[in-house]
Homo-oligomer: A and B are copies of this chain.
Amino acid sequence: MAAEVIRVLVVDDHPVVRQGLRTFLDLWDDLEVVGEAADGAGCLAAADRLRPDVILLDLRMPGTDGVHALHGLRAAGNPARVLVITSFAEPSVIVPAVRAGAAGYVYKDVDPAALAAAVRSVHAGHVLLHPSVARLLAEGEARPGAAALTAREREVLTEVARGNSNREIAKTLLLSEKTVKAHMTAILGKLGLHDRTQAALYAVRTGLVSPAGW
């Protein structure tokens, strides 16, 4: 028994998904699931306690999300390699995660063999990137993404993505409508979008607002 066992921590808010991932990984003798967590905070605690080699991390979770967890891992100097599990094809979701230290990502429709290969690959020190994501990283972001937004802009965008008008947002955030419009102009400029509808859709696609949010 000379084969090294890769210790894996599974982080996803859905128990079904965690179980599916665990079962997939249990198919291989060289992979061992040493723990699970349901959000970013649980991830940090479990990573500290269990010292996994690889963390499978969903980005979009309630409470502390995946990107924040990545920052936390980095700040704690945790050496675990992080493989992001995502439903989202949008590079601008993934680029911030990669910038925050993720070693790669796989989509949720991954099959067991591909998942195992990805885990082994990041454990071996590789970085797994789709060409479109690699290009974005190389060029800097062609479309900066939500990371370029200020906190206030993000608040306004969140309200837009809840279907509210500028007037309603002004009331909610205790601003003048002029201010909301100014933020909106900034948001559209930064994201390279044409109107609020595109902005709302973008917010949903990138996980800023959940589709079931209202």
A19→B163 CA distance, assembly (Å): 36
Q: Which residues of A contact B (CB under 8 A)?
A: 13-24, 87-90, 108-112, 160-163, 165, 193-198, 200-201, 204-205, 211-212, 214
List B contacts of A214 (CB < 8 A): 201
Structural contact, A88 and B212, CB atoms closer than 8 A: yes
Given the known A-B contacts A16-B110, A110-B16, A111-B15, are A211 and B200 also in contact in the complex, defined by CB atoms under 8 Å?
no
User: Taking CB as reference atom, which chain B residue is nearest A87?
Assistant: B212
Structural contact, B20 and A18, CB atoms closer than 8 A: yes
- Min Cβ gap A195→B in Å is 7
List B contacts of A204 (CB < 8 A): 201, 204, 211
CB-contact partner of A23 in B14, B23, B109, B195, under 8 A:
B23
A110→B19 CA distance, assembly (Å): 12
Given the known A-B contacts A163-B197, A201-B163, are A89 and B212 also in contact in the complex, defined by CB atoms under 8 Å?
yes
Structural contact, B16 and A198, CB atoms closer than 8 A: no
Given the known A-B contacts A23-B23, A212-B88, are A197 and B200 also in contact in the complex, defined by CB atoms under 8 Å?
yes
